[in-house]
Amino acid sequence: MKKLLIATNNPHKLEEYREIFAALPLTVTSLAEEGIELDPEETGTTFVANAIIKAEAFAKESHILTLADDSGLEVDALDGDPGVYSARYGDTHKDDHVGRYQIVLDKLVANNVPWAERTGRFRCVVALASQEDGVIGTVDGTVEGYIAYEPKGENGFGYDPIFYFPEFDKTLAEVSAELKHTVSHRGRAARAAIPIIEAYLNR
Ligand code: ITT
């Protein structure tokens, strides 16, 4: 079976792509399985630029069809922050998701932001690349919601506990992974990537 490398050092993202692509006729592989140790510097100022940096770097290293994403939370009342800096917001440790979402919550309280203005969105840009062709496509996905007053839920990762999705009347950490993927930025971007992946594998 043909392989698709999910080029992320974030185990939660890897798990989500495994779930979303489970029914596809291809083998989803990871950096760990391919023995690739690389953490390319994300020097871009946009999601698309950083997704391309990662996809190209890992495709070059692996010689496998590679998918990388750059994603994050944009909060309108914070002028779009944390945005592309979502994985390294504030003076927090790499794994300190609680510390990072607490910074967002504290800033909204400090600025007295009313509920109607606590709007935001998760964005995900997926880039696909191969060693021989470089970038073969980029697609994106977005999910709109509100920044909750307090964290809720144990599922998901990152900022999910503070991302309230009105149609579920829940945060994305309070719903199952399957339900999250039906509306999430990553679910949408991943589904949009399927035709590009299929075209590459069938050529
Ligand atoms: P790689 O670059 O190795 O893929 P990363 O975690 O550093 O891993 P990003 O640079 O794209 O990836 O940062 C994305 C951050 O945005 C992630 O660490 C979370 O804090 C947040 N984020 C992205 N998608 C999310 C989701 O579905 N739920 C909650 N938080 C999310």
Q: Write the pLDDT tens digit of every residue in 17-43.
A: 999 999 988 999 999 999 999 999 999
User: Which residues have CB under 8 Å from 95's CB, separation 6+?
Assistant: none
Cβ of 70 less than 6 Å from ligand 1 = yes
What pLDDT is stored for residue 93 in this prediction? Answer: 80
Q: Which residue, judged by its Cα, is nearest atom 31 of ligand 1?
A: 158
184 residue type, one letter: S
Spatial CA neighbour of 68 closest among 84, 49, 82:
49
Of 43-47, 60-64, 115-119, 199-203, the one with minimum mean pLDDT is: 199-203
List the residue whose alpha carbon is closest to atom 16 of ligand 1: 72
- Per-residue tokens: 9: 């050092």
Side-chain-side CA neighbours of 168 within 13 Å: the count stands at 20
Residue nearest to atom 1 of ligand 1 (CA): 8
Q: Are 139 and 192 in contact (CB under 8 A)?
A: yes
Range of the domain at 114: 3-202
Residue 202 pLDDT level (bands cut at 50, 70, 90):
confident
User: CATH number of the domain that 65 lies in?
Assistant: 3.90.950.10
Q: Give the distance (Å) from ligand 1 centre to CA of residue 203.
A: 32
Which of 98, 100, 91 lies closest to 152, judged by CA?
Answer: 98
Establish whether residue 159 lines the binding site of ligand 1, counting it when its CB lies within 6 angstroms of any ligand atom: yes
- Domain total for the chain? 1
